[in-house]
Structures are given as C-alpha cells and as structure tokens.
Amino acid sequence: MIKFFRKIRQNLLSEGKTGKYLKYAFGEIVLVVIGILIALQINNWNEQQNIQGNQEKYLRLLKTEAINNLKQVIDTKENVYALNIWQNKIFNLIDSNQDTITEDYLSKTFGKVFSNTYKFGYENSVLTEMKTSGHLKNIRNDSLRKCLIALDPLVSRIKNQEQDVIQEYNNSIEYIKKNGSLRTMADRNGLAEIIGIPKLPKFKSTNNHLLSENEFENNLMRYTGTTKNLFTYQYPTLENHLKKTIEIIEKELEKK
C-alpha cells in the first residue's frame, strides 16, 4: 500500500503536477492521521474493556473477602460479649456474700474469664493486591473506593484495642499466678485430669480470697473496660462498614 502511494506521488512529480502532488500528499497525511486516531481509539476501547473485566473480577473477590470478614467480626464480637458477661459475674461475686460462694462455681467463672482472649481474623489479600498493583484506582464508584481505603485503618484500631485487652488479661493472670492457685482452677474445671495432674484435696487451696483484694479487682476492671470497648464500639463500627461495602459492591455488580 505504501509503495502504491509512493508511485502515485512520483508520477505526479515527474509530470510536473506540483499542485496536485501537494494536495495528494496532504490528503495522504490526513489519512495517516485518521488511521492513527482510529487505532488509538480501538486501543483505548480494548483497554477499557480489560479494565471493566478486571473490575468485575475484583468486585466479586472483594465481596467474598468482605463477607468472610463480616462473619469473622460478628463471631468475634459474640465471643467477646460472652466473655464480658462472665467478667461481670465476677464483679457480682465480689459484691456478694463471699462465704456462700462455692469453689466449683468460682473456678468455673474464673475459667471462663481467664482462659481465652479473642482476636478478629482479618482477611485482606485481595485488597492488598489491588493496592500494590494499582487496580484500586480503577474502581469507578467513589463511595466504594473510599470504603475500601478506610477499611485497613478501621482494622488497625481494632488490633490496637485487642492488644490492650491482651495486656490487661495478662496483668490479671500474673496477679492470680502470684496470689492465687491456677491448680485449683484447673482441678475444679476438669483440666487437671486432662493434663494428668493429681486431684487436689478440697481443703488445700482456694481462690476465694482474691475477691476481697483491691488489686485483683482493679486488674479485672481494666480488663473488663477494654473488652467492653471492643464489642460495644470497635467491632460494630467495622461490622457496619463491611455491610455498607458489601451493599455497594452488590449494586455495582448488578450494573454489569
């Protein structure tokens, strides 16, 4: 094709038709420019199609990730709420007639409060991949993009609060280890038998005295306060944020 156009130009020049040559050359330039513009337009269209296809793929992955995180945060919130109920039962024991408290019930209550802490298992591999690869900027919905950007800072605050809970839990456990009997707790909760420790004589040890000690109560108060903050404020904030994110994603997928 190029040789064909070149031959025409050469013939015009050889015939002395300079005016026609210039007009033809200009027309040829215009055609080349139009061809380039068309090629760019096709390339842009193909690129947009690829972006749209990737966006739909990522939206589905983000939805799955958000649903998993929502289930995790709800489960963790429920566990921490149950923990807080038992924490308050210890305060009820502190305020009650302690002579009527059985060692079995006290050990059961202590076991519920001082055996576990809970942490939200955050899943963010898709979001992290989108950030590092630059695909996050291709999310066209501004509200969704803002929700995704705000997710990591929300989780970071939760992780900090969870760490505070663990710290106060450890303070309480250290106090019990120094001033109480972990063996009594294990024995009355059936754990001693599981790990092969001889059964403890009922008269030998008790943790009842801990209920009258201010430092134990102060440790428990800080442990309870940090726990309550988690399930009252931190987890519900993330839960609502994830629900909003899922709702926006579903609406975007409906448009596809």
Summarize pLDDT for 177-223 with one digit per residue, the tens.
Answer: 999 988 888 888 777 677 777 777 765 678 999 999 999 999 999 99
Residue 233 CB contacts under 8 Å (≥ 6 apart), including other chains: none
Task: Output DSSP code: residue 232.
Answer: I
Any domain includes 15: no
Total of domains in the chain: 1
What's the pLDDT score for residue 109? Answer: 94
Residue at 28 is within a domain? no
Region of 134 (left: φ > 0; alpha: ψ -120 to 50; beta: rest) is left
* Lookup result for tokens 């993330």: 238
Dig out the tokens for 3 from the structure: 């040789």
Instruction: Give a yes or no: residue 56 inside a domain.
Output: no
Instruction: Give the integer Cα–Cα distance in Å for 95 and 256.
Output: 61
Q: 186 or 29, which is more confident? A: 186
Other CB atoms within 10 A of residue 155 CB: 18
Q: How far is CA 147 from CA 53, 95, 113, 141, in A?
A: 21, 45, 35, 10
Residue 166 maps to a domain: yes
Residue 16 belongs to some domain of the structure: no
Q: Is residue 3 part of a domain?
A: no
Long-range contacts of 132-141 (CB under 8 A, 24+ apart): 135/54, 135/55, 135/58, 138/51, 138/54, 138/55, 139/55, 139/58, 140/55, 141/248, 141/252
Query: Is residue 13 included in any domain, yes or no?
Result: no
The whole model's pTM is what?
Answer: 0.77
Q: In the predicted model, is pLDDT for residue 252 greater than 90?
A: no
Q: Which amino acid is at 74?
A: I
Give the helix/strand (H/E) hosting 243: helix 235-255
| Mean pLDDT, range 174-179, rounded to an integer | 94
User: 73-122: per-residue pLDDT in tens?
Assistant: 999 999 999 999 999 999 999 998 888 888 889 999 999 999 888 999 99
DSSP 200: P
Q: What's the rounded Cα separation, in Å, for the pair 90 and 2?
A: 91
CA distance 189 to 105: 9
In angstroms, what is the C-alpha Rg of the chain? Answer: 35
- Confidence (pLDDT) at 44: 55
Note down the domain range covering 237.
62-255
Residue 31 domain flag: no
Distance (Å, whole) CA 162 – CA 181:
26
CA-nearest of 124, 66, 118, 123 to 231 is: 118
Task: Output the average pLDDT for the chain.
Answer: 83
